[in-house]
Each structure stands twice: as C-alpha cells, then as structure tokens.
Chain A
Amino acid sequence: MTKEKKMVITIPREELMSPGHLACQGCGASLAMRLALKALGQKTAVCIPACCWAVIDGPFPYSSLDIPIYHCAFETAASSASGVKAGLEMVGETETTVLAWAGDGGTFDIGIQALSAAAERNEDIIYACYDNEAYMNTGIQRSSATPLGAWTTTTPVKHYKKERKKDIIGIMAAHEIPYIATASVAYPEDLVRKFKKAREIKGTRFIHIYAPCPVGWKSQPEDSIKLAKLAVQTGYFPLFEIEDGENWTLNFKVKERKPISEYLKLQGRFRHLKEEEIAIIQKEVDTKWEKTLKKCGL
C-alpha cells in the first residue's frame, strides 16, 4: 500500500466526548453519543434521564462530555428538554440545539407521555432514543422495546418474551412531527448526516438509534458493530427517515436480506430459541420489512 495516501475522514474530527467514561467494553450507546455530538457540535445542551448514559457520563463533579448536561427524572426527558429550550429562548439564545437523550425504557415505557406531549406541542428539541432493547442499566429487565423471543432477567429462558417490540416509529409518525429517522451505530456517516439534518429543522425531531449492548445481549464486545450491521442487513432494523409524518425514504436498500438466524445466533439472549421459533421471528421481520417498503413507496 502507498504510504503517501491521505486518510479519508468522512465524519467530523471534533471530539466532544472525552475518554475515561464508565461505559462497558464494546458499548453501542457511548459510540452513539460520540457520533451524535460530532454532528451537533459544541452548541448543544443535553437532557439525560435515568438510563445508561446517566452512569456513563461519570459521577459528580466530573463529566465526560464537553457540553452542558442536565440530569432529569426518568419520565421527563422530553419535558425537561422543552423547559431548557424555553429558558434559552427567554435569554435570547436561539442557536443552541437542545437534545433529549434517553434509553429505550425512558422512551418506550416511562417517558412516552412526556414525549407525546412534547411532540404534540411541537417543541423545538431533538429527541434521540438509543435503543439497547431492555433496562440495561438496572440489570437487564424487560422493556417494551425488548424483541420477541429474547431472554432478560424478568423474562427468563422458560418464559422468554412472547410479545413483539413496540412500534415507536409508528407512534411518532402518527404525531406528524417534522422529522423522524432511524439510525445505527454501524453506519456512522448515515447517523451523522441525520443529526446534521435534524439540527437544521425546527420542531420536534425524533431519532431512533440502534445501540448494541454486549452485557445485556450476552454477545461478545467485539461483535457490537457486526450485530448492528446484521440488524440492518437482515431487515430487522431498517434505516429510513420520515419528513412531515408522511414522506418516507428508505436510506439503505437491502437487495438480498440475510436470514435472521445469522443475527440471532451471535447473541446469548436468543440461544434457547428452537427452529420453529426462529421461523416465527423471521416471519415477523418479513412482514415488518414489507410494511416499511410499502410505506416508502417501493
């Protein structure tokens, strides 16, 4: 290889997250925050409810982020962010982007009324949900984002989760907010582009980020990115964006979807599943994929 080749950098160099934070090895959530802040830049304020990031950030008086952070109560991510934005506007500061950064528990279950209310008022905030599919911070309890068939400490192997994952994108699309997107840590350019686009739009913007958790998923730390890639390539987590609640665009057109078993077999939380149960999950994924394609007009 030629030594004179310049390094091609496709995402911003600026680093607003300092190392030394308290995330586990191979954490998808910390990578998601790092990439999101690269896109949003210094003029950002974050509201973090109780979630993994409340711990990752570090104990008082330290913080691993170079931007203002407000730790709020579990259910109030969206309403706190609305308040911070209103306060900033009162003092005439209009450039700062206010980001609410919640996990899936604080979005799908506990924070949904605050999120719905903020979306209804069309508050000028970005709401980012990093989805690791259970309450990982408190010890892997089932949330409504946990997928069908998964093991958690409250849905043990014999009684694995029988319900499917809540369709949060469908709920948010029904609010007809200006911008909704799904992003994955395995596609940093796409994630950064979506956050940059969201920063320019006024109104409530919702971004759903897929963030693997090696501890809760019982997967190897080095497989985090591979899993996030497989989730997209199997059609389990399609990458798309919705503008004004109706214009759906599929960002990553998967020509030949991989079988879902490839994604499941890397994770210990799905180890108990038998062939017929995997077939059921495959069918669910197929139906969801067809629905997404239809909505995107493909």
Chain B
Amino acid sequence: MPKNKEVKKVIFNSEKEMPLAPMSIGNMLHNKTGAWRNIKPVIELSKCIKCGICWKFCPDASIDIIDDWPAINYDYCKGCGICAEECPEKCIEMVEEER
C-alpha cells in the first residue's frame, strides 16, 4: 500500500455537496476487508528466501515489501491463502483467526 494515500470516508450532508457528475473522490481504503477472513497467513521470516512470489500473487495488494521483506497488511488481507499455497519454501502458514 503506498504511504501517500489517506484513509477517509466521504460523507455528503446534502445533495448540494455532491459533485455534478458521478465521479470518484476517494479510495476504498476505509473498507477494512480484513474482517472477512477466518484464517490468517503468518510468515516465518527465518525461512523466507525473498523470492517475492507472495507479493506478486496477492489479489488484494495487501502484502507490502518493507525493507526487502514481505509484510502482510492484516487490515486488508482477506485470507484467501494464495500466498501460503504458492510459497516455494512453505514458510507461510494459515492459522485460525482468534476473535
């Protein structure tokens, strides 16, 4: 996730505040899709070979590369398990979400 994006919810108090044409004026970052998941991926960094495959295949763009290491953004990860399945070293494990 790029750092320059801000999380904001757009609320219109009256229809006069709305733009004339329907156009997007905010991003979807307020929608924390992390609440959708039942199992969550956990990376064991000691086994990681920095191949970047988990980052490449994440359909939710919720794996970031921070200082050359993959880091999962749990606010948005939907828990599909693609990263755990595709990891060549099998260092990502899907664990039950505790609520």
Interfacial residues, chain A to chain B (CB-CB below 8 A): 1, 5-11, 13, 15, 17-28, 30-31, 34, 58, 60-64, 66, 69, 185, 188, 214, 220-226
Q: Is the CB of A22 within 8 A of B61?
A: no
Q: Which of B29-74 contact A (CB under 8 A)?
A: 29-33, 36-37, 47-52, 56-62, 65, 68-69, 73
Q: Is the CB of B1 within 8 A of A19?
A: yes
Nearest-neighbor residue (CB-CB) of A5 within chain B: B50
Q: Name B10's contact: one of A26, A61, A226 (CB within 8 Å).
A: A61
Q: Is the CB of A61 within 8 A of B57?
A: no
> Using Cβ atoms and an 8 Å threshold, which residues of chain A touch B47?
1
A interface majority secondary structure: loop
> Using Cβ atoms and an 8 Å threshold, which residues of chain A touch B12?
61
| Bound complex: CA A1 to CA B51 (Å) | 12
| Bound complex: CA A26 to CA B94 (Å) | 14
> Using Cβ atoms and an 8 Å threshold, which residues of chain A touch B80?
25-27, 214, 221-222, 224
Nearest-neighbor residue (CB-CB) of B68 within chain A: A7
Q: Does residue B82 face the partner (Cβ distance < 8 Å to A)?
A: yes
| Bound complex: CA A13 to CA B66 (Å) | 12
Q: Name A20's contact: one of B24, B31, B52 (CB within 8 Å).
A: B31
| Bound complex: CA A78 to CA B81 (Å) | 35
Which of A22, A58, A222 lies at the interface centre, i.e. has the most chain B CB atoms within 10 A of its CB? Answer: A222
Is the interface on chain B under 10, 10 to 19, 20 to 34, or 35 or more residues?
35 or more
Q: Is the CB of B52 within 8 A of A58?
A: no
| Bound complex: CA A221 to CA B79 (Å) | 9
Q: If the complex has contacts A10-B52, A15-B2, A26-B81, are A34 and B28 also in contact, measured as CB distance less than 8 A?
A: no
Nearest-neighbor residue (CB-CB) of B62 within chain A: A19
Q: Is the CB of A18 within 8 A of B52?
A: no
> Using Cβ atoms and an 8 Å threshold, which residues of chain B touch A188?
56-57
Q: Is the CB of B59 within 8 A of A222?
A: no
Q: Is the CB of B57 within 8 A of A31?
A: yes
> Using Cβ atoms and an 8 Å threshold, which residues of chain A touch B16?
none
Which of A23, A25, A28, A63 lies at the interface centre, i.e. has the most chain B CB atoms within 10 A of its CB? Answer: A25
Q: Is the CB of A61 within 8 A of B61?
A: no
Nearest-neighbor residue (CB-CB) of B38 within chain A: A25
Q: Is the CB of B23 within 8 A of A62?
A: no
Q: Is the CB of A20 within 8 A of B48?
A: no
Q: Is the CB of B85 within 8 A of A223?
A: yes
B89 to chain A, nearest CB (A): 8
Nearest-neighbor residue (CB-CB) of B36 within chain A: A25
Q: If the complex has contacts A1-B49, A21-B28, are A30 and B22 also in contact, measured as CB distance less than 8 A?
A: no
Q: Which of B1-22 contact A (CB under 8 A)?
A: 1-2, 5, 10, 12, 18-19, 22
